[in-house]
Amino acid sequence: MAYLSGATSDAALTEIDSFALTPASHIVDITRARGLFGDRAAALIETVRLRRKASAKLPSARGWLFTDDSLQQSTPELVARRRARRLVGRRVHDVTCSIGSELDSLRTCAETVVGSDLDRVRLAMAQVNVPDVPVLRADALVPVTRGTVIVADPGRRAGGRRRHDPAALEPPLPDLVAAYRDRDIVVKCAPGLDFDRLGWDGEVEIVSLAGGVREACLWSPGLAEEGVRRRASVLADDGTAWEITDAAPDDIPERAPGRFLVDPDGAVVRAGLVRHFAAKHRLWQLDPRIAYLTGDALPPGIDGFEIVDRITFSEKGLRQALASHECGSAEILVRGIDVDPAVLRPRLKLKGTRPMAVVITRIGRGAVAFVCTARARGSAQ
């Protein structure tokens, strides 16, 4: 650790960064590195490998130190910076600061920032990564600052597997909430937790990035927007974003399928805001129990599919329908029906040239397949 953070390591890391470091070059790279740097070769190679891996997730973290676990657990920079903007001007204490990735975003918005953690190695890395932010060793369940907003990210993995029980997180979520019961607190969690069962009385925000749901964020009542209990925040990898909350209207009509189908972003679905999203964009549901939406136009900036055919679902019927439309490749979406797209696709024996999409779902008691044009995006108005 001391060697990696010292001035003498810079030249060595630059040299290692010129290596390919691919599976095919592994033996050659190790042999060459050991010849140049002896028993420090493994640490140098691992550091360069993790920096390369971090470049997309944490683009500002150039020259940082990581462990593999800490990098996996770090919040993507775009997500962390969006959260930090909700804490502008506040005094903030990240009680599970790890290597400092959250601190790096918070320091650009908060009035003051401090970090703490129990892991000595990660704290030492945080001191290197964000040297202008004070960090200390402390138990997250023992308050050591006053008048600060608490930010926490309980560990969600054990033995490489995700934990879904709030009491099994590290530290346990119920204990964390109890320790700061009278404080403003922000807690990052896995989006699969049962928040209704948790009994959280503030805001639950579900965040997606580039089409994938990344996390849930619990905002205590003092930090939540008035009248909001659920929020979906949808971020693109270019930094643009939109959101919707349960304060929006959710009245939608009951109608037959329109011209287009829309599969709402996963954050909208996980947050339980499908109807709110539909009402905002003049859409309606295919079925009240299913998250697929339909309408007469695609909302601006939202992906969807234009319907060209509708059949009662069966493999034979779908195969015939796709053949009649000269389909050569198909994106297959399924919801509410026990069908595995990976198993179904080769059975369809597609031989045409036209890219298309298939949406298989349940309407009422029946299984339906919609044959659609390829995924398209609604144009800006």
Give every CB contact of residue 342 below 8 A, 6+ residues apart in sequence. Answer: none
Q: What is the pTM of this model?
A: 0.91
CA 177/CA 189 separation, integer angstroms: 13
Top-confidence residue, 175 or 161: 175
pLDDT tens digit sequence for 74-98: 999 999 999 999 999 999 999 999 9
pLDDT tens digit sequence for 106-153: 999 999 999 999 999 999 999 999 999 999 999 999 999 999 999 999
Q: Token pair of 183, please?
A: 């404080």
CA 164/CA 167 separation, integer angstroms: 9
> Any idea where the domains of the chain sit in the sequence?
8-53, 71-245, 260-377
Indicate whether 192 pLDDT > 90: no
Q: What is the pLDDT of residue 185?
A: 97
With cut-offs at 50, 70 and 90, classify the pLDDT of residue 208: very high
Mean confidence (pLDDT) of the chain: 92
pLDDT tens digit sequence for 330-353: 999 999 999 999 999 999 999 999
Fold of 71-245: Rossmann fold (3.40.50)
User: Mean of the pLDDT values across residues 227-236?
Assistant: 96
Q: Which residue is it, tokens 């930094």?
A: 239
For residue 13, CA distances in Å to 40, 43, 52 come to 11, 10, 12
What is the DSSP-derived secondary structure letter of residue 365?
Answer: T
Q: Three-class SS string for 50-118?
A: HHHHHHHHCCCCCCCCCCHHHHHHCCCHHHHHHHHHCCCCCEEEECCCCCCHHHHHHCCCCCEEEEEEC
